[in-house]
Amino acid sequence: MSVDETEPAAVGDLPGRRRLVVLVVGAVFWTWLLTRWIYHNAALDRIFSTLGLPGLIRSEVPVRDREPWLSPEPFASAADSVASFGHGSGLPEVATGWLVWLCDLLAFSIESAPALAEGAYVTVYLTVVSILLGLAIAVPLSVARVYGGTVLGRLSLAYTELIRGTPLLAQLFLLYYGLPLASVIESLGFVGSGWVPGPAAFVAIVGFTINSSAYQSEYIRSALQSVDEKQLVAARSVGLSKWAGIRHVVLPQGLRYAIPGWTNEFVYLIKYSSLAAFITVSELFGRAENIVTDTFRTTDVYVILALFYLALVLTTALAMERVAASVAIPGVGQPDGDR
Amino acid sequence: MIETASEAGTSIVGMLQADAGSLLSLGGRTAGVLQVSDWAFVATNWEYLLAGTVVTMLLTITSLSLGFLAGFPAGAIEVYSSGRLSDVVSTFGVLLRGTPIVVLVVLVHFGLPLPRFGSIPWLEVDLTAFLSATLALGLRSGAYQSQVFRGAIQSIDDGQLAAARSVGMSSRQAIRHVVFPQALRRSLPGFQNEFTIVLKDTSIAFAIGLAELLTRAENLYLQPGQGTAVLEVILTITAIYFVLTFVTNRSLEAIHRRYSIPGGTE
Amino acid sequence: MSLLHFENVSKSYGDEEVLHDVSFQLDAGDVEVIVGPSGSGKSTLLRCVNRLTEIDDGVISLEGEDIHAMDENTLRRRVGMVFQDFNLFAHRTARGNVTLGLTEVLGLSKHEADERAEQYLQQVGVADQADAYPAELSGGQKQRVGIARALAMDPDLMLFDEPTSALDPELVGEVLAVMRELADDGMTMLAVTHEMGFARSVASRLAFLEDGQIVERGPPEQLFEQPQHDRTDEFLGELTDLNR
């Protein structure tokens, strides 16, 4: 498949005012999220306990029993008062209905927040670990494809085509339900106890890593190919070997061309990590599903969930932009705005 | 509402609780190993899987078409109009592109008051679920296609517009006769890309119980006594997906080659 | 009555004044060549005539009518433009480039448009390339198609914005030949170009534009042999060195 299967503009440009909104909301969001994670982190709890501060971090509180930090009461009662005002004043349902729903939604999101935060933790570490591991595989994969000669090149191509030509969900199912991978991991003993995630999460990471490596190798391949051949020629004429030339001249430039692709990949993984729920991982989507079965408030939960993912995605996209700007070299791999 | 909510409860949680442990070993036979009896099981159910393949293809086509119908004007609006309309369109785009497709599909299916249709004979597909999946996949694809289209429009040299205007064409005529034809051609690679993405993402309809390929795979190996066939079934459908994406890409490329302007970069 | 009349025309981009109080007149059949250093406002001046750029001050009249009062699309039927970068419609054949304006703007039928296109493509010498796409044509052929496209609208005035600057030297001649023929046929032309040979032999008047103002204007011989300003002499001297 010669068509470059990259998703165009992951999120798109954010014009001035909206960008500001995202930045502000994002800052508040992440402050809360990080505090939640730290507050319930088992590893940190152990550290602080040995330091003589056992009460600082509460990792032993199970998710179900965690209390929200903000009280949902004001919003719930606001909803009630708007509702009764609406009935009493005789205004049509439409006028006050949406406001009641909004206040209710706010109260509900506050109640669900602790569980969602825990899910988000899993989502984020699934994403980050998979991208990094995927990158480690993708670089040699793409170098093999571009510089490896016919056999290596074809192998690399076959791997990439196969992974990119089949759905991620099917790949996850294959790994988790089709292969005995989960039980093999479980037999490793340390899995599932303490702060080590269960076997399902490991399988998810394997699945995402393989998937991500295929896509990342495509981004890197096209980035490597957009570095002018003459650069390598110049490197060799200075005396560098082919591999040294690739390492010191082609890759540093090529990897910068690949930055827009990475932003895409990051955003893609954050969104598609939701599929891990289908192999029993309790990440964000999975937690939301639990709330649905508990409360039956499907629409509300999914709306809050969508907004949560949006917060993760948009803040990531902005952060990646910063990263790109800070490593930018004039004239090398400037994003053309469309990817 | 309670009805649909409990449907939600059972269908997704039921699937989430598909006991991995019990699937892995079934009375002596094991799942992770390829066995002839399991392949035979797959073979006997070829018609069932074929129907699933058809549903997958249909869903892909309906979603892509919706995506095109929504994305093409959206992209044009983002380029050519400023102000409220353009803002609304681009905000929707960000929302659709920033939300996981799974969330979109369940949101549409359980959140929107969709009419309850029946199902189609032979294909045995729940039309309401089909509609939800089409809406979710289609609108999301539209959000991406609008970006492809927008980029294509912007990549067309201003000079051609100037030339069109200096011959006396109005802005509208110039856009219609000079910009759009070329932008459409330049959007083909992006569109081809979308095809594969949507095709693979139809598997997401699993979450709302639509009887497409992946769901049917699960239905097969969840049948009592067929737990060991998991690997064979999933390998089969994975192969089907691969063949579908491969064939589609090759055909689209061939079409692209046939209709491209000689010598041009379109 | 003059064909084209510039009266005290000024144009600024932000703080930068690109055209300053420019006034001149063209009669029917005149061939006026404008020269000047880059950034002097030559292209802007041309683009003001067909309102691709709008002026800030002054009046431009076409056959006595203020062009600003006209519908801009109607104006552009009467004024043809040829671009430095050709700007051919990449998705249409040479013939298609010419017929687009004929069918969409003048409302001709496909048959009539095709016939007319043939005629003009013939006139500029690219009739045998009628079915070729722009990417398949040489620079000189592209520009001649561009000229045919503008001519086919039957304009009263033709504008040329550095028509040969983007061409390889050996292709310049064929385009200049077409322009020369047009001039001989009596077309009123306003051209920005550095081709001094063309200016000396074809132009009825030469205008030297610098910093948005017409420094000197008159028959080419006059500016070459007895320029009234040192700057004119300097600039034309540099130009003829280039052309040599």
Would you say A11 and A314 are in contact if contact means Cβ atoms under 8 Å apart? yes
pLDDT tens digits, B28-57: 445 567 777 778 888 888 888 898 999 999
Residues of chain A neighbouring B104 (CB-CB closer than 8 A): 306
Angle of CA points C99, C101, C107, to nearest 5°: 90
Q: Which residue type does A133 have? A: L
Binned at pLDDT 50, 70 and 90, residue B20 comes out as very low
**C-alpha distances in Å from residue C109, one per residue of A327, B174, B175, C116:** 58, 19, 21, 11
CA distance to partner chain B, nearest, from residue A174 (Å)? 6
Would you say A149 and A228 are in contact if contact means Cβ atoms under 8 Å apart? no
Binned at pLDDT 50, 70 and 90, residue A36 comes out as confident
User: Is the ipTM reported for this complex over the cut 0.90?
Assistant: no
Q: How many CB pairs under 8 A join A and B?
A: 189
Taking the C-alpha atoms of residue A145 and residue A216, their distance in angstroms, rounded to an integer, is 13
Taking the C-alpha atoms of residue A106 and residue A224, their distance in angstroms, rounded to an integer, is 48
B25: nearest CA partner in chain A: A180
Using the predicted structure, report yes or no on whether residue A16 has a pLDDT greater than 50.
yes
Which of B147, B193, B204 lies nearest to residue A169, judging by beta carbons?
A: B204
Taking the C-alpha atoms of residue A50 and residue A66, their distance in angstroms, rounded to an integer, is 24
How do the pLDDT tens digits run along chain C, 244 residues long?
789 999 999 999 988 899 999 999 999 999 999 998 887 889 999 999 999 999 999 999 999 999 999 998 999 999 999 999 999 998 899 999 999 999 989 999 999 999 999 999 999 999 999 999 999 999 999 999 999 999 999 999 999 999 999 999 999 999 999 999 999 999 999 999 988 889 999 999 999 999 999 999 999 988 888 888 888 888 888 877 766 5
Average pLDDT over residues B127-146: 94
Which of C80, C48, C42, C43 shows the shortest CA–CA distance to C61?
Answer: C48
* Bridge partners, residue C207, by sequence: C34, C217
Taking the C-alpha atoms of residue B134 and residue B136, their distance in angstroms, rounded to an integer, is 6
- Residue B220, classified by CB atoms within 10 Å of its CB into exposed (0-12), middle (13-18) or buried (19+), is buried
B200 lies within 8 A of chain C by CB: no
Q: The sheet that has C213-218: what strands, in order across it?
A: C79-82, C157-161, C188-192, C31-35, C205-210, C213-218
Beta strands C31-35 and C188-192 are: parallel
**Mutate: best of B34, B39, B99, B243, partner A, most A CBs <10 A:** B99
Using the predicted structure, report yes or no on whether residue B262 has a pLDDT greater than 90.
no
Contact B147 A8 (CB under 8 A): yes
Taking the C-alpha atoms of residue A290 and residue B12, their distance in angstroms, rounded to an integer, is 10
CA distance to partner chain B, nearest, from residue C73 (Å)? 4
Residue A202, number of CB atoms within 10 A of its CB: 22
Neighbours of chain C (3+ CB pairs under 8 A): B
Residue A272, number of CB atoms within 10 A of its CB: 23
The sign of the dihedral angle between the CA atoms of C217, C219, C221, C222 is negative
| C23 vs A338: which has the higher pLDDT | C23
User: Which distant-in-sequence residues (6+ apart) come within 8 Å of C81 by Cβ?
Assistant: B163, B166, C46, C50, C52, C150, C158, C159, C160, C161
Using the predicted structure, report yes or no on whether residue B110 has a pLDDT greater than 80.
yes
* Bridge partners, residue A314, by sequence: none
CA distance to partner chain C, nearest, from residue B92 (Å)? 32
Using the predicted structure, report yes or no on whether residue B26 has a pLDDT greater than 70.
no
Which of B166, B178, B262 lies nearest to residue C89, judging by beta carbons?
A: B178
Backbone angles phi, psi at C92, to 5 degrees: -125, 150
Residues of chain B neighbouring A292 (CB-CB closer than 8 A): 5, 8-9, 12
Which of A314, A304, A290 shows the shortest CA–CA distance to A21?
Answer: A314
Contact C76 B159 (CB under 8 A): no
Using the predicted structure, report yes or no on whether residue B184 has a pLDDT greater than 80.
yes
**Residue written as token pair 């005629």:** C119
Using the predicted structure, report yes or no on whether residue A339 has a pLDDT greater than 50.
no
pLDDT of residue C206: 93
C79 Cα distance to chain centroid: 9
Taking the C-alpha atoms of residue B144 and residue B195, their distance in angstroms, rounded to an integer, is 11
**Mutate: best of B22, B108, B201, B234, partner A, most A CBs <10 A:** B234
Average pLDDT over residues B155-180: 93
H or E segment and range at residue A272: helix A259-272
Structure tokens at B197: 């993405």
Which of C44, C41, C36, C42 shows the shortest CA–CA distance to C231?
Answer: C36
Identify the weakest region by mean pLDDT among A122-131, B43-52, B58-67: B43-52
Residue A21, number of CB atoms within 10 A of its CB: 12
Using the predicted structure, report yes or no on whether residue A3 has a pLDDT greater than 50.
no
pLDDT of residue A13: 62
H or E segment and range at residue B75: helix B46-80
Taking the C-alpha atoms of residue B132 and residue B106, their distance in angstroms, rounded to an integer, is 8
B12: nearest CA partner in chain A: A289
CA distance to partner chain B, nearest, from residue A310 (Å)? 5
Residues of chain B neighbouring C74 (CB-CB closer than 8 A): 168
pLDDT tens digits, B115-126: 877 777 777 788
Structure tokens at A177: 């339900």
Taking the C-alpha atoms of residue A212 and residue A134, their distance in angstroms, rounded to an integer, is 5
Would you say B30 and B221 are in contact if contact means Cβ atoms under 8 Å apart? no
- Residue C111, classified by CB atoms within 10 Å of its CB into exposed (0-12), middle (13-18) or buried (19+), is exposed
Taking the C-alpha atoms of residue C207 and residue C218, their distance in angstroms, rounded to an integer, is 7
pLDDT of residue C78: 93
Taking the C-alpha atoms of residue B176 and residue B165, their distance in angstroms, rounded to an integer, is 12
Binned at pLDDT 50, 70 and 90, residue A15 comes out as low
Taking the C-alpha atoms of residue A212 and residue A225, their distance in angstroms, rounded to an integer, is 20
Q: What is the dihedral of CA C234, C239, C241, C243, to 10 degrees?
A: -170
Taking the C-alpha atoms of residue A136 and residue A138, their distance in angstroms, rounded to an integer, is 6
B250: nearest CA partner in chain A: A1
SS3 B114: coil
B13: nearest CA partner in chain A: A289
pLDDT of residue B27: 44
Q: Are chains A and B touching, using the cut-off of 8 Å on CB pairs and a minimum of 3 such pairs?
A: yes
H or E segment and range at residue A201: helix A199-225
User: Which distant-in-sequence residues (6+ apart) come within 8 Å of B173 by Cβ?
Assistant: B164, C104, C105
Which of B4, B196, B218 lies nearest to residue A5, judging by beta carbons?
A: B196
Average pLDDT over residues B120-141: 88
| A191 vs C172: which has the higher pLDDT | C172
Using the predicted structure, report yes or no on whether residue A336 has a pLDDT greater than 50.
no
Buried b (16+ CB within 10 A) or exposed e, C134-173: bebbebbbbbbbbbbbbbbbebebbbbbbbbeebeeebbe
Contact A305 B103 (CB under 8 A): yes
Neighbours of chain B (3+ CB pairs under 8 A): A, C
Identify the weakest region by mean pLDDT among A143-157, B164-178, C97-111: A143-157
Would you say B263 and C133 are in contact if contact means Cβ atoms under 8 Å apart? yes
Distance spanning both ends of chain B, measured CA to CA? 50
Angle of CA points B153, B156, B160, to nearest 5°: 125
Binned at pLDDT 50, 70 and 90, residue B11 comes out as very low
Angle of CA points A285, A291, A293, to nearest 5°: 105
Contact C136 B262 (CB under 8 A): yes
Contact A1 B249 (CB under 8 A): yes
Residues of chain B neighbouring A164 (CB-CB closer than 8 A): 196
Average pLDDT over residues B226-251: 90
Which of A5, A166, A179 lies nearest to residue B193, judging by beta carbons?
A: A5
Structure tokens at A52: 């003589």
User: Which distant-in-sequence residues (6+ apart) come within 8 Å of C13 by Cβ?
Assistant: none
What is A62-105 written as a DSSP string?
A: -GGGPPPSS-SHHHHHHHHHHHHHHHHHT--HHHHHHHHHHHHH
Contact B166 C91 (CB under 8 A): no
Would you say A217 and A261 are in contact if contact means Cβ atoms under 8 Å apart? no
Taking the C-alpha atoms of residue B152 and residue C182, their distance in angstroms, rounded to an integer, is 38
**Residue written as token pair 């992974």:** A163
B100 lies within 8 A of chain C by CB: no
Binned at pLDDT 50, 70 and 90, residue A23 comes out as confident
Taking the C-alpha atoms of residue A207 and residue A120, their distance in angstroms, rounded to an integer, is 19
Residue A119, number of CB atoms within 10 A of its CB: 27
pLDDT tens digits, A57-87: 777 777 777 777 777 777 777 777 777 777 7
Contact A10 B97 (CB under 8 A): yes
Using the predicted structure, report yes or no on whether residue B3 has a pLDDT greater than 50.
no
* Mean pLDDT across chain B: 84
Would you say C94 and C84 are in contact if contact means Cβ atoms under 8 Å apart? no
**Mutate: best of B26, B106, B231, partner A, most A CBs <10 A:** B106
Residue B28, number of CB atoms within 10 A of its CB: 6
Which of C151, C157, C163, C155 shows the shortest CA–CA distance to C87?
Answer: C163
Beta strands C79-82 and C157-161 are: parallel
Q: Are chains C and B touching, using the cut-off of 8 Å on CB pairs and a minimum of 3 such pairs?
A: yes
* Mean pLDDT across chain A: 82
H or E segment and range at residue C232: helix C230-243
